[in-house]
Amino acid sequence: MLYDVGMVPIPFFEWRVIVIATIRDVAKLAGVSVSTISRYLNKSGYVNVETERSIKAAIEKLDYAPNQVARGLAGKKTNTIALILPDISNLFFSDLARAVEDVAATYGYTVILGNSDDQADKEKRYIETLKKKYIDGFIFASQTFSTEEAEMLTKLGIPFVCLDRGPSKENASVVRSKNKEGAKLAVQHLLDIGCRKIAHIYGPQQLITAKDRLIGFEESVHHSPWFTPTLLEAGDFRIHGGISATERLLERHPDIDGIFAGNDLMAIGALKALSRKGIKVGSDIAVCGFDGIQTTEIMTPELTTIAQPIYEMGAMISRLLIKKIEGALEEDLTYELDVKLLARESTLAFTPKVNQ
CB 257 within 8 A of CB 352: yes
Question: Pick from 36, 44, 220, 263: which binds ligand RIB (CB under 6 A)?
Answer: 263
Which contacts qualify for 246-249: CB closer than 8 Å, 24 or more apart? 246/201, 246/270, 246/273, 246/274, 247/273, 249/199, 249/201
d(C-alpha 264, C-alpha 127), whole Å: 30
Q: Which of 92/202 has CB closer to ligand RIB?
A: 92
126 binding ligand RIB? (CB under 6 A) = no
Q: Which of 171/296 has CB closer to ligand RIB?
A: 296
95 binding ligand RIB? (CB under 6 A) = no
Least CB distance from residue 204 to ligand RIB, whole Å? 9
144 binding ligand RIB? (CB under 6 A) = no
339 binding ligand RIB? (CB under 6 A) = no
CB 260 within 8 A of CB 249: no
Q: Which of 178/319 has CB closer to ligand RIB?
A: 178
d(C-alpha 32, C-alpha 58), whole Å: 11
165 binding ligand RIB? (CB under 6 A) = yes
Least CB distance from residue 80 to ligand RIB, whole Å? 25
- What burial class does residue 111 get, using C-beta atoms within 10 Å of its C-beta: 0-12 exposed, 13-18 middle, 19+ buried? middle
Question: Pick from 291, 302, 332, 345: which binds ligand RIB (CB under 6 A)?
Answer: 291
Least CB distance from residue 255 to ligand RIB, whole Å? 28
Least CB distance from residue 84 to ligand RIB, whole Å? 14
CB closest to ligand RIB, residue no: 209
Count of positions on this chain that bind ligand RIB (CB under 6 A):
11
272-303 exposure pattern, b = at least 16 Cβ within 10 A, e = fewer: ebbeeeebebbeebbbbbbbbbebbeebebbb
d(C-alpha 208, C-alpha 185), whole Å: 18
Site residues for ligand RIB per CB under 6 A: 90, 92, 164-165, 207, 209, 237, 263, 265, 290-291
